[in-house]
Amino acid sequence: QVQLVESGGSSVQAGGSLRLSCVASGDISGDMYSRYCVAWFRQAPGKEREGVAVIHTGGTSTLHADSVSGRFTISQENAKNTVYLEMNGLKPEDTGMYYCAAVLTYGLACSLRYEYNYWGQGTQVTVSS
């Protein structure tokens, strides 16, 4: 089993910045940490869930959705089993619940279209105009 705990969500004004954190524990810890795709997803009320960014924990491979490219950056701190989402230039349309998700992988790259089977409880981001 893998446990994911998100934090860092808050209410900010448009143009502001936030950094979300996702701490992983359980089977993803230790030697297994380098074998996962860890992604951030978001869901606004009444809208479908959207993949935001993903990182391969075994290297530096990252992918960002077009809607956040240039504004959001996913990164990781392996020693802390933590994945971050740095969000700059926030817009009201970035409002939503942000979830961290993980899936074991044997490849070298990740996709937001993978079937992620571990999910956190989410952290709320609200951007006001």
Round to whole Å and give the CA distance between 67 and 93: 10
Strand partners, 103: 37
Give the pLDDT confidence of 7-28 residue by residue, as tens digits: 999 999 999 999 999 999 988 7
Q: What is the mean pLDDT of residues 40-56?
A: 96
CB 116 within 8 A of CB 24: no
CB 46 within 8 A of CB 33: no
Count, residues in the chain: 129
Percent of the chain with pLDDT over 70: 97
Query: Closest Cα to residue 36, out of 3, 6, 73, 71?
Result: 3
Give the pLDDT confidence of 62-101 residue by residue, as tens digits: 999 999 999 999 999 988 999 999 999 999 999 999 999 9
The confidence band for 31, taking pLDDT boundaries of 50, 70 and 90, is low
